Amino acid sequence: MKEIALIGSTGSIGTQTLDVIRQHQDRFRVRLLACGTNIERLKQQIAEFHPEVVVIRDEKDLIKLEAHLPTGTKAVAGETALLEEIAKTNASFVMNAIVGSQGLKPTMAAIKAGKTIGIANKETLVTAGHLVTEACNHYGAQLIAVDSEHSAILQSLEGSKREEISRLIVTASGGSFRDWSAEELQHARPEDALKHPNWSMGQKVTIDSATMMNKGLEVIEAHWLFNMPYESIDVLIHRESIIHSLVEYQDKSMIAQLGTPDMKVAIQYALAYPDRLELNGPERLNLWEVGTLHFEKIDPLKHQCLMMAYQAGKTGGSAPTVLNAANEVAVQMFLEGKLTFTGIATVVEKALSEHTVIDHPSIEKVLEIDEETRTRMMTG
């Protein structure tokens, strides 16, 4: 029985994680649930999974939970309480499914407690990959990728030696606007961007898919997860999202992980690692039904956000922190109708150009730069 702490339980990854746990109640038990403000969904989760601890964002919402806590379940609120409960919980596995840079502190708390962390929060490694990997080595913690692309790489690396690997190839669907011209993108609306052709994801991730920033963040994440130089990480557009990523070896052979698009496959692989379990839900992949798989090169002119992410990753230091923070603000501005779709890349580039890079920032400095970037963008 593996005991689980789930941070971000009411979001897309969080609810799918509980779907997996629901199928394997003989293998997994929920010890801790944490979420932001979706109290109604949290009530349902508490009633079903009876966690020992529930953590919410705002103390004022605790009263809404009082009548819904089973015997043996306590509820606390705030970031400090979350970090304390992560350190104290008996759960050996922490699934970090928070979207955004706010996932950094919970990840570091889990690392310092020596937990195994399912890292669905890519911003943690993007903003502070140098600190996270150093801490994992020091405290003996383990990161297991949950993004479908990184899970595919992990699966394709099984049994291999680091010196045998030549290249990682991260696949991308191309997002909602893969067939739009540059002129059409000038008039793209949020409702258009949120119609992802292959995957069901949250709003922010879906917009990042449309700009291809998500692939840029995944490249930076892959650099830290698999200790690969950026020159050895490529991105390939693959419309069908059947091949989730590939690994090329020094003999030029490739190993890939294939499957129908379903995040629960990657989530379950992380939860059960190194075992594989039966999973209900994903459709069986019959390649004769797919017929043809398509592949396209990246267009540097159209995929400016991806190119900026590569550059920020190679620059290192605080540059990826600025990239991520600026992108989060820009995406929210686009969703609120305050910025055009093409304006996302423009304002992110401006934020990077105005920043003086710090080579090896501390976690306090990372968070300070993150906040400064957001404040500067929101105040004009």
Paired tokens of 378: 């929101």
Distances in Å between the Cα of 87 and the Cα atoms of 37, 84, 113, 125 are: 22, 5, 5, 20
Q: Parallel, antiparallel, or unpaired for β 116-119 and 28-34?
A: unpaired
The count of residues in the chain is 380
Q: What gap in Å lies between CA 120 and CA 122, rounded to an integer? A: 6
Burial grade of 252 (CB within 10 A; 0-12, 13-18, 19 or more)? exposed
Helical axes 122-139 vs 104-112, angle rounded to 10°: 20
360 is known to lie in a ligand binding site: no
38 is known to lie in a ligand binding site: yes
Burial grade of 275 (CB within 10 A; 0-12, 13-18, 19 or more)? exposed
50 is known to lie in a ligand binding site: no
Paired tokens of 133: 């990997």
Query: Which distant-in-sequence residues (6+ apart) come within 8 Å of 231 by Cβ?
Result: none
10 is known to lie in a ligand binding site: yes
259 is known to lie in a ligand binding site: no
Q: What gap in Å lies between CA 202 and CA 34, rounded to an integer? A: 17
196 is known to lie in a ligand binding site: yes
121 is known to lie in a ligand binding site: yes
181 is known to lie in a ligand binding site: no
232 is known to lie in a ligand binding site: no
202 is known to lie in a ligand binding site: yes
7 is known to lie in a ligand binding site: no
Binding residues, by number, are 10-13, 36, 38, 121-123, 147-149, 173, 196, 202, 209, 214-215, 218
Q: Which residues are annotated as a binding site for 1-deoxy-D-xylulose 5-phosphate?
A: 122, 148-149, 173, 196, 209, 214-215, 218
**Binding site feature residues for Mn(2+):** 147, 149, 218
Binding residues for NADPH: 10-13, 36, 38, 121, 123, 202
